[in-house]
Amino acid sequence: MYQRRSPPGFGKPSASDSSVRKPRGKPAGKAVNKPLKRPAQARAKFTVQAIYDAFVRIWRDRGWAGVTTRAIALETGISVGTLYDYFPNKHALLSGYVRHTMDVLLEAIEQQVIQATGLTWRERVHRLVRLTCGIDVAELAYFDADMLALETQIAEPKHHRRVYEEMSAKWLSAFDACTDLPYRPEPDTVRALYLSIWGARRYYWLLVDPPDISAGKWAAEMEKLCCAVLEKK
């Protein structure tokens, strides 16, 4: 997901951006739609988080076309040069942000489902399904159908594989934490449950608020599906 190359092209800077410092490195070539580096130090993490927060505000207010170098810089107060140090173009910014949403989700499952104490298996499954469905979950990072529609421009098969491996591992750990389950489901069963919900989630985003089933109702039905499988021996 992170690659140190420096292709140009971030949004459409205005004429007042003539002093923009272009990314350092190799000569311009084919654009790389990935962040150039992952922040390691606390200050760098704060900077990148501020960029992501500004990206979401601009996205929700002005859409993809409104995401430009100048807009991000003005919104954050971060220099354009610093912005280019991390993101060579707007697709790289979107790629980094989507990865960020996954990191937030994985951490939420770890803390609220796997590490949580004093929960019955039903309560743990409720939290797991709720987070995985990602509908109206305030603690998760913002994501919408328009972002999903741009996925083919930033994602490669290896990225999908990585998400599958990380999420299925979290699901397996979540069920390991359910020590009061009626019986232990096979790993393949757990992976199948995860895929059924994750695939449905992606399609639900594409439908954009279907009138015949609310997000809450859909998530509740997914939870019923999981519980039915776990109770049937």
Say whether both 68 and 112 belong to one domain: no
Say whether both 153 and 218 belong to one domain: yes
Say whether both 62 and 105 belong to one domain: no
Give me the pLDDT at residue 154, please.
94
Say whether both 112 and 144 belong to one domain: yes
Contacts 24+ apart (CB under 8 A), 171-179: 171/128, 171/132, 173/110, 173/114, 174/109, 174/113, 174/114, 174/124, 174/125, 174/128, 177/113, 177/114, 177/115, 177/116, 177/124, 178/121, 178/124, 178/125, 179/121
Model confidence at 82, pLDDT cuts 50, 70, 90, reads very high
Digit-coded pLDDT (tens) for 8-60: 456 554 444 443 444 454 444 456 789 998 888 999 999 999 999 999 999 99
Best CA proximity match to 38, nearest among 89, 100, 90, 94: 100
Task: Please state the rounded mean pLDDT for residues 98-117.
Answer: 97
Say whether both 139 and 41 belong to one domain: no
Say whether both 84 and 104 belong to one domain: no
Question: Looking up tokens 């990191």, which residue turns up?
Answer: 103
Terminal CA-to-CA distance of the chain, rounded, Å? 41
Q: Note down the domain range covering 223.
A: 98-231
Task: Please state the rounded mean pLDDT for residues 62-84.
Answer: 95
pTM recorded for the entire structure = 0.85
Number of domains in the chain: 2
The pLDDT > 70 percentage for the chain reads: 86
Please indicate, yes or no, if residue 173 is contained in any of the structural domains: yes
Say whether both 181 and 147 belong to one domain: yes
Digit-coded pLDDT (tens) for 159-179: 999 999 999 999 999 999 999
Please indicate, yes or no, if residue 9 is contained in any of the structural domains: no
Domain-ending residue, one of 88, 108, 131: 88
Say whether both 194 and 146 belong to one domain: yes
CA of 189: how far to CAs of 108, 175, 192, 199, 230, in Å? 22, 11, 5, 15, 9
Please indicate, yes or no, if residue 213 is contained in any of the structural domains: yes
Domain-ending residue, one of 41, 57, 88: 88
Say whether both 64 and 110 belong to one domain: no
Say whether both 111 and 84 belong to one domain: no
Say whether both 84 and 40 belong to one domain: yes
> Is the pLDDT score of 75 beyond 80?
yes
Q: CATH number of the domain at 127, please.
A: 1.10.357.10
